[in-house]
Structure 1
Amino acid sequence: MTSVSGRCSFSFFQWRQESAAVRHRIDDRCVKRSTRWRVSVAGAAALGVLASAACGASGPGESAPGGQADVAAAKTAIAAYQGHPSAFPVSEPLSKPLPAGTRFVYLQCSTTACGLIGNLIRPAIAAVGGTLSSVNASSTAQASQAAVSSALALKPDAVIITGIDPSLFGDGLKALSAAGIKVVSLSISKDVKPFGITFNYIGSQLTLQNGKLLADWVIANKGANADVVFYGVPALDFSGPMQKAFEDEMKKNCPSCKVRTDPIGLATIGTTSARTVVTDLQAHPSTNVAVFASSEVAAGLPAAMKAAGLSITTLGYAPTPGNLQDIKDGGLTAGLAIDFPVSVWTGVDAAARLIEGGQPVPGQQAGQVPTQFLEQKDITFDPTRGWSGYPDYQQRFTQLWHPAR
């Protein structure tokens, strides 16, 4: 992964399953710049935030009445994500089964995450009735542009990319689009239109929504007594916007709540991040809630807090199997989980609809992914296998893709 040391921003699919060894290869300047990035994010132009699902006393842009916590609005906002996953993103069947021999190409980067996605894409393509060719796109501009040329020569009906900065392809993705090939990307936070991408599933909408949900969970559980720290990871491209959405929602629904932020270096996750968090909490004894842009920051945290004599409410985004075990054991309080397998299969579904001449369904266009707050009472499954809100997702998609069966 030769280009890691040259970049300081990584998408969800690039980091979600990345190894600790690779993280340590990240250039030190990514960590050293964390504090400066934090200031830059805070001073940036405000990002548009998705309309809240809440129906309460506080309308869009309004603060909680009397400067107190609008707990009712917060509880309403998170209700759809408690006790069950949010809605399955696709319910509309394909207009007709894909023709036999429909060809897909997956441009696979060199990270562990891209390999995992490849393992999920392959059975999805088989289930939809297509054939798949994987082309190694590595993580450099030279390799990515060579890969897209190879993809063009294969004359597929659709090309899928994940975890790769689209600028690395040069004009290659535009060439694919010009040839009538549908180009579908997953989890790219920037505007994809200038690169020739037909459709991007999971963009900034999900990040902003989740930032708000994290804030509303804090308010619903702590009310005006919340004294919260948000541990962002500036090297992750979703962390800054998520932090901004979190801060905005806290200010709107609980202007009297205390909120501070503290950046965590990506290379420290899984090694010293737990000790960093404990040291920070010891320096701020009034803090009663810790929120993590990445739940992986909390790896090893329960033992570290116990050793330090700390007890604090914790909430993290995208908990890992280890985090889920800690929640089950009572060492961590909760996590906002997303359904990784369903998200990958949903991207394949979007590509199939485009091939047929249709458009992605509203749930795909909105970047919807099954999401759920998981607390101790919710871990009734084997946490070592991770979480899926819809364990029957393969059967669900197969019925949508072959409705006559």
Structure 2
Amino acid sequence: MHRPTRKILRSAAVVTVGALLLTSCSSTLDDEPVEPDADGDSSAAVEAANEFLEPWLGGAEKNLLIDEPLSEPIAPGTHVVYLDVGTPVSAVMWDNLQEPAQLLGLDLERVETGRDAQSINAAMNTVVELEPDGVINITLDPIFFEGQIAQLEALGVPVASGSVMNTVEFGLPEAFNGPDWMTMNGEVLGAAAISRSGGASEFVFYNVPEFPFSSYELDGVKSRISDLCPDCTLRVVDIPIAELGSTASDRVVSDLQANPGTEYFIAAVDEVQIGLPQKLSLAGLDVDGIAMWPAPPNYEQLAAGDQDATLSVDLNLMMWTVLDQLLREMNGQEYEWPDTLTRASTLTRITDEENAPEDPVLGYVAIDDFRDRFAANWLVD
């Protein structure tokens, strides 16, 4: 059971403010390596990959991760701060918070954190000065604002997080999509690469080091590809966060030109693929790939048949779930997350041209009536 967490715990592994958590996570499923067929083809690997991917192909009934009412309603005017790290997906997540905030009558405020230690420190000092009722953090590593966590703790301000890998180490509540969730979705990306490539053997993973979750996705990709295809190779190429939304696709093109044997690519975030199909075509390259965390432009590319696939995340359901956790923390209410497979497969699905959402802004919807379900749990009339 998870209880509201207040005590600050210092990580013994933290040495400098600029360090990133790169701890390796083991595979979440204990599968034996797939033995190649006698004739050397890859059909066994593809078949095993497809079997593993079944929960992420859609069709199964899904439920809210925490499906029980709040202990008491949330007062209108409750002040919640959203930490915006400045990426395109972060902007989408901010937009996804508007509807539940209106439903609850929240006073929702956006604070831009910047991407360097000095900017983050200044932004978090502002958050402390605001003395909100709660804070939502998506992807920002707590190592950069440990001092402010202590100050928020003293003020009784809870912080709920999404896509943050080391919350517990800093005395913050455990995120539903922490290391084990990210590692499992990395396994999905690895299996999908085997399946969608028809059993390729040369892969590359485009890592974003500044995102702590990226290394966990990489762990999962390595584990699953190794299980499915022991003789396959996987290169790792870093793409700086500052290039997302600008020159990331150019870096991918340059890398694929320099490594013509690469048959399929995997990326930690789908922002890497925005605008990439056109640049690949201009460069005379025909290499497909899959990533995670699609933004509206990715869905447009999928619908047009320009992008091979994505591991869709229902960003609406994600943000409503993070907010739901924050509300329970503010109420001092106990709750429990389901197992990793349930959490991962509830929020994500493999999407391609055939099942691309009609509305690229709305994106993938995992639970059609999620609004009504949350409203009931939040005791909204």
SS, match of residue 229 in structure 1: strand
Between the aligned partners of 1:270 and 1:183, the Cα distance in structure 2 is 28
Q: Do residues 332 (structure 1) and 307 (structure 2) align?
A: yes
- What's the TM-score once normalised by structure 2's chain length? 0.77
Q: Do residues 148 (structure 1) and 128 (structure 2) align?
A: yes
Please say if residues 184 and 347 of structure 1, whose CA atoms lie closer than 8 Å, have aligned partners that are also in contact: yes
> Structure 2 matches for 1:301-340, cutoff 5 A?
301-340=276-315
Between the aligned partners of 1:177 and 1:275, the Cα distance in structure 2 is 43
Please say if residues 145 and 168 of structure 1, whose CA atoms lie closer than 8 Å, have aligned partners that are also in contact: no
SS, match of residue 287 in structure 1: coil
Between the aligned partners of 1:251 and 1:371, the Cα distance in structure 2 is 22
Counterpart of 2:180?
205
Deviations along 1:347-377, whole A, 9 cap, x unmatched? 1211223344432332498864611111111
Q: Do residues 173 (structure 1) and 149 (structure 2) align?
A: yes
Please say if residues 69 and 376 of structure 2, whose CA atoms lie closer than 8 Å, have aligned partners that are also in contact: no
Please say if residues 86 and 372 of structure 1, whose CA atoms lie closer than 8 Å, have aligned partners that are also in contact: no
Q: Do residues 63 (structure 1) and 41 (structure 2) align?
A: no
Counterpart of 1:160?
136
Q: Which runs of at least 4 in structure 1 moved beyond 6 Å after TM superposition?
A: none
> Structure 2 matches for 1:107-122, cutoff 5 A?
108-109=83-84, 111=86, 117-122=93-98
Q: Do residues 124 (structure 1) and 100 (structure 2) align?
A: yes
Deviations along 1:59-113, whole A, 9 cap, x unmatched? x263223586543432122111114588344352215442545834325447366
SS, match of residue 350 in structure 2: strand
Counterpart of 1:374?
351
Counterpart of 2:271?
296
Between the aligned partners of 1:133 and 1:300, the Cα distance in structure 2 is 32
Between the aligned partners of 2:53 and 2:378, the Cα distance in structure 1 is 32
Between the aligned partners of 1:319 and 1:85, the Cα distance in structure 2 is 21
Between the aligned partners of 1:335 and 1:86, the Cα distance in structure 2 is 21
SS, match of residue 80 in structure 2: strand
SS, match of residue 98 in structure 1: coil
Deviation at 1:230, TM superposition (A): 1.8
Identity %: 24
Q: Do residues 254 (structure 1) and 229 (structure 2) align?
A: yes
Between the aligned partners of 2:73 and 2:355, the Cα distance in structure 1 is 38
Counterpart of 1:185?
161
Between the aligned partners of 1:80 and 1:219, the Cα distance in structure 2 is 16
Deviations along 1:1-42, whole A, 9 cap, x unmatched? xxxxxxxxxxxxxxxxxxxxxxxxxxxxx9xxxxxx9xx99x
Q: Closer, same or farther in 2 for the Cα pair 1:364/1:169, shift >3 Å?
A: farther
Between the aligned partners of 1:334 and 1:314, the Cα distance in structure 2 is 7
Q: Closer, same or farther in 2 for the Cα pair 1:391/1:78, shift >3 Å?
A: same
Please say if residues 298 and 323 of structure 1, whose CA atoms lie closer than 8 Å, have aligned partners that are also in contact: yes
Between the aligned partners of 1:349 and 1:205, the Cα distance in structure 2 is 20
Between the aligned partners of 2:142 and 2:112, the Cα distance in structure 1 is 11
Between the aligned partners of 1:351 and 1:364, the Cα distance in structure 2 is 20
Between the aligned partners of 2:74 and 2:297, the Cα distance in structure 1 is 42
- What's the TM-score once normalised by structure 1's chain length? 0.73
Please say if residues 86 and 371 of structure 1, whose CA atoms lie closer than 8 Å, have aligned partners that are also in contact: no
Give the helix-richer structure, 1 or 2. 1
Between the aligned partners of 2:148 and 2:260, the Cα distance in structure 1 is 53
- Give structure 1 stretches of 5+ with no counterpart: 1-29, 31-36, 53-59
Q: Do residues 402 (structure 1) and 379 (structure 2) align?
A: yes
Q: Closer, same or farther in 2 for the Cα pair 1:301/1:318, shift >3 Å?
A: same
Between the aligned partners of 1:137 and 1:383, the Cα distance in structure 2 is 25
State which drifts further: 204-213 or 306-315: 306-315
> Which amino acid is 2:33 matched to?
S
Deviations along 1:226-265, whole A, 9 cap, x unmatched? 3222222333332222223211211112102232233334
> Which amino acid is 2:264 matched to?
V
Between the aligned partners of 1:97 and 1:256, the Cα distance in structure 2 is 56
Counterpart of 1:227?
202
Q: Closer, same or farther in 2 for the Cα pair 1:85/1:172, shift >3 Å?
A: farther
Deviation at 1:189, TM superposition (A): 1.7
> Which amino acid is 1:124 matched to?
P
Counterpart of 1:243?
218
Q: Do residues 389 (structure 1) and 366 (structure 2) align?
A: yes
> Structure 2 matches for 1:7-18, cutoff 5 A?
none
Between the aligned partners of 2:90 and 2:36, the Cα distance in structure 1 is 49
> Number of residues paired by the alignment?
351
SS, match of residue 343 in structure 1: helix
Q: Closer, same or farther in 2 for the Cα pair 1:249/1:144, shift >3 Å?
A: same
